[in-house]
Amino acid sequence: MEKFRPLVKKALKRYLNDQVNDRLKAALGADDIRISSGGDAQSESDENPDDNAPAESEPDDGIVTTEEEIAAYRIIKAIACSEADPERITMRDSKSYCAVFLDDNNRKPVARLFFNTKQKYIGLFDENKKCERYPIDNLNGIYLYAEQIRAEVQCLLQ
């Protein structure tokens, strides 16, 4: 039992995280947005059902997907849909940036959104896969880089 306890614990956490993610996706109406949730707090409370103490909040992972990031993702998706099926364009948020991928593959980045600072940036990739950051004043600034986004998607499809 001691040998399998950590495996079962890890599997339970993953299952609960997947369930929470599925419900959040359904609530947001965006099947292609992967949201990192703090499902660990829920799984911790499920492990100790006999505790009558109030559930303590676990420190979150610091990832917050904002409405602005989702809107920017949808703009990039709309631009990229001229080159690839829109269902292939996905988003994954992290602490420092929000990434837009082709085929939900981190080896196929389309763009990065740096919205966690006062000045917003869009990160686009050159032929060497180096991310170059360009300042944008608002979400409409993304349209200025539409050709670069399309070119990146075309390059990733080859």
Q: Are residues 72 and 148 in the same domain?
A: yes
Q: Are residues 42 and 105 in the same domain?
A: no
Q: How many CB atoms lie within 10 A of CB 110?
A: 28
Residue 53 within any structural domain of the chain: no
2 has pLDDT over 90: no
Q: Are residues 76 and 138 in the same domain?
A: yes
Q: Are residues 152 and 97 in the same domain?
A: yes
Q: What pLDDT is stored for residue 40 in this prediction?
A: 40
| DSSP at 140 | G
- Structure confidence at residue 26 as a pLDDT band (50, 70, 90): low
Rg (C-alpha) for the chain, rounded Å, is 19
Q: Are residues 72 and 138 in the same domain?
A: yes
Q: What is the pTM of this model?
A: 0.61
Q: Determine contact, residues 37/17, Cβ cutoff 8 Å.
A: yes
| Distance in angstroms between the alpha carbons of the first and the last residue of the chain | 49
Number of structural domains (the chain) is 2
Q: Are residues 10 and 74 in the same domain?
A: no
Q: Which residues span the domain enclosing 151?
A: 67-157
Residue 123 within any structural domain of the chain: yes
Average pLDDT over residues 22-47: 50
Neighbouring residues of 54: CB distance < 8 A, sequence distance ≥ 6: none
41-84 pLDDT, tens digit per residue, is: 333 334 444 444 444 444 456 777 888 888 899 999 989 888 88
Q: Are residues 93 and 126 in the same domain?
A: yes
4 has pLDDT over 70: yes
Q: Are residues 82 and 114 in the same domain?
A: yes
125 has pLDDT over 50: yes
Give the CATH number, domain containing residue 144.
Answer: 3.90.930
Q: What pLDDT is stored for residue 24 in this prediction?
A: 66
